[in-house]
Structure 1
Amino acid sequence: MGADPADEAPPGFVLPLLLFAGFRAFIDEVHAELARQGHPDLRPAHGFALQAVGGAGVTAGELGRRLGVSKQAAGKTVDRLAGLGYVERVDDPADARRKHVRLTARGHDVLARSAAVMESLRARWADALGEGRLRDLERGLRTVVPGDHFRLDASNWFGA
């Protein structure tokens, strides 16, 4: 009897496609739930930008560096997020000639909601895969992903 074809390793291109499909499914579910919770205009690229703004806020130039985009592109992102009510521009406390971008109450709200939704989705994945298998997957990915694996410039990398 021959080996079961299902036991053979798939071609190398399958792994990144599965990882991306899992990422996409996870993020799509996050955004669908955020839309139901009152944030229908938020897009995945906005999530990266809101994370890059963070709790302390940033200048547009620093936001651009964190996202891997030009200061002008960061400014457009800030304009969009400000228009949606997630960030605001205020005088920079260190230099009144510069503007500082910080999260609004709505920005803090959506980050808190997205964290809760992600916890819920992780729990669903743990139910589907088993907690041990999911932890093994997370540990394995930490082993092979470079130390700067939480780069926020992913939307720029995809050409968004």
Structure 2
Amino acid sequence: MATADPERPGFLLPLLLLAGFRTLIDDLHAELARQGHTELRPLHGFVLQAVGVEGTTATELGQRLGISKQAAGKTVDRLVALGYLERVDDPRDARRKLVRTTARGRDGLHRSAVVFDQLRQRWADTLGPERVAAMEDDLRAVTPANWFRLDVPGWFGG
């Protein structure tokens, strides 16, 4: 059944959510570039988050991101070359290599968190803090509790 309000068709909601997401991500990366992280791309942030504090293997990273081990390895290679990740021997299993964030990777993640706080404040300055908080509450009400899942096949690798 079509939406009764022709000015608010159903397909517009996901497009507006995507546009808001893209605006935040594009603004984040423009600021990160100004702060010296010119090489970071949106996918890289998801990868750095998926690597986690303890590190992971390329196989586990691929599973977390829902992509092949080969695709994960290629992305890791790129982030190693850029200085955001490193490969080290796994102290629990000499046959395995762990992927870990470097100081540069941790700096990029830290700066991202700070910039996201600034961007949220910019939205609050434009819309009002109550409306931004209400929007966050409303999105929490309609999204699953485990909304931040990177292991959904196809999201990153097709």
Normalised to the residue count of structure 2, the TM-score between the two structures is 0.92
Does the residue aligned with 2:25 lie in a helix, a strand or coil? helix
Match of 1:92 in 2: 90
Contact persistence 2:67–2:153 (CA under 8 A): no
Cα deviation, 1:132-151, whole Å, max 9, x if unaligned, reads 11111000101101122112
Q: Structure 1: how far apart are the matches of 2:96 and 2:116?
A: 35
Closer, same or farther: CA 102–40 of 1 in aligned 2, 3 Å: same
Aligned pair count?
154
Answer yes or no: is the 8 Å Cα contact 2:66–2:157 preserved in 1: no
- The TM-score with structure 1 as length reference comes to 0.91
Contact 1:49–1:152, Cα closer than 8 Å, also in 2: no
Partner of 2:72: 74
Distance 1:86 1:155 in 2: 25
Letter in 1 for 2:139: L
The answer to whether the 8 Å contact 1:45/1:155 transfers is no
In structure 2, distance between residues paired with 1:30 and 1:155 = 26
- Structure 1 gaps of 5+ residues are 1-6
1:5-154 residue pairs with structure 2 within 5 A? Answer: 10-152=8-150
Where do 4+ consecutive residues of structure 1 move more than 3 Å?
153-156
Give how far 1:158 is off: 5.5
In structure 2, list runs of 5 or more residues that go unmatched.
none
Instruction: Return the offset for 1:152.
Output: 2.6
Identity of aligned residues (%): 67
Mapped partners of 2:35, 2:153: distance in 1? 24
- Counterpart secondary structure, 2:97: strand
1:3 counterpart residue number: none
1:112, CA displacement in angstroms? 0.3
- AA aligned opposite 1:10: R
> Secondary structure of 1:99's partner?
strand
SS of 2:28 mapped into structure 1: helix
